[in-house]
Amino acid sequence: MTTAISPTTQELGEYPPGQDPLPSWNEGSAKRSIINFVRGVTTTGDAHFVKPEERIAVFDNDGTLWSEMPAYFQAAFVIDRLKALAPQHPEWKDKPLYSAALQGDMKTVAAGGLRGVMELVAITHAGMTTDEFAKIVEEWITTARHPKFNRPYTDLIYQPMLELLIYLRANGFKTFIVSGGGVEFMRVWADKVYGIPPEQVIGSSIVTKFEMLAGVPVLTRQPELNFMDDNVGKPVAINLHVGRRPIVACGNSDGDLQMLQWTAAGTGLRFGLLVRHTDSVREYAYDVSPLGRLDKALAEAGTKGWTVVDMKQDWKRVYPFETGK
């Protein structure tokens, strides 16, 4: 249960000068709630103390650790891959789904439903070995540019959330990504960008198959969904991959609700956080994204005492490349 902050820690939202662990966070209730929580679970003798090995923190990725507008960044990868493959597939011109995707018309693609999206994912994500796919992602992530900011997508991570990851790890936490994004898409760059190693990245996956190609064992990627790591899938995946219930869960949409519920329902002090996109100038302002909403989780945050981060108010800096103000 998420319970009231312990009396022994509730007034501790301060830190020695020059030692602010979250310098890109403005002073306020969100920042204070993080610091109070961490002090509570890490202070020996505190009623809320949690052993280091049980300090598991899970983070959604799209919209929580990096931006997700104007579309999930992995969708941009899909479109760029389709464009690269199109010359070998002249027949795509006559297929509405493909021609819409090639023109970046995401509305038409989305209108085709999950089946259409999965078909595009299959054609761009399958039919190669895992090693080959990793190379394709590596090349894309280092060369592709975000349409609004004209920067690599990995520049568009949230500096305050990066500080939160580092702060938690400095306090004995193990940090995990639990994302609807593709696990083998994220692993290529997550360690470099967030300091989260491959074995702590959980995501959606397609089927892979062990095969011998000319005497060499490979894993080939099949055009078939293995697991969708969203909504009810998130607690299922956490249980399968981590095998412990987290004490911290951070998300930004209703797709993260079950992960927050599952985390909050454990015994002892728990911390839930929702990032709310309120900054149309520095980032984007929306509670409804192309593929997600935030109404149910936001309503439950109120009753459960989860921390709602108002990006515009709570973040001094959004991206690492900005100068703090």
Using the rule CB under 8 A, is 61 a contact of its own copies?
no
What are the two backbone dihedrals, phi and then psi, of residue 210, each rounded to the nearest 5 degrees? -80, 125
Packing angle of the helix pair 295-304, 257-264 (nearest 10 deg): 20
Q: How far is the CB of 53 from its own copies (least distance, A)?
A: 6
Question: Which of residues 3, 103, 130, 142 is near its own copies by CB under 8 A?
Answer: 130
Per-residue tokens: 308: 């709602």
**Residue 261 engages its own copies in binding (rule: CB under 8 A):** yes
Per-residue burial over 167-205, b = 16 or more CB atoms within 10 Å of its CB, e = otherwise: bbeeeebbbbbbbbbbbbbbbbbbeebbebeeebbbbbb
User: Considering the complex, what minimum distance in angstroms separates the CB of residue 194 from its own copies?
Assistant: 14
According to CB under 8 A, which one of 84, 265, 288, 299 is a site residue for its own copies? Answer: 265
What's at 44, amino acid-wise? T
Choice between 62 and 229, CB closer to its own copies: 229
Pick from 316, 277, 268, 194: nearest CA to 37:
268
User: How many residues sit close enough to its own copies to count as binding (CB under 8 A)?
Assistant: 35
Cα separation, 209 vs 281, in Å, equals 45
Give the shortest CB-143-to-its own copies separation in angstroms. 23
Considering only 45, 87, 217, 302, the residue that binds its own copies (CB under 8 A) is 217
Residue-level length of the chain: 325
CA distances, 4 to each of 33, 37, 270 (Å): 11, 10, 10
Q: Is 175 in the site for its own copies (CB under 8 A)?
A: no
What is the amino acid identity at position 316? K
Shortest Å, Cβ 165 to its own copies: 17
* Position 228 contacts its own copies (CB under 8 A): no
Query: Taking CB under 8 A as the rule, does residue 45 contact its own copies?
Result: no
Rule CB under 8 A: is residue 236 a binding residue for its own copies? yes
User: What is the footprint of its own copies within residues 190-209 (CB under 8 A)?
Assistant: 191, 197-201, 205, 208-209
**One-letter-per-residue 3-state SS of 106-119:** HHHHHHCHHHHHHH
- Binding footprint of its own copies on the chain (CB under 8 A): 53, 56, 130, 174, 183-184, 187, 191, 197-201, 205, 208-210, 216-217, 219, 226, 232-233, 235-236, 239-244, 258, 261-262, 265
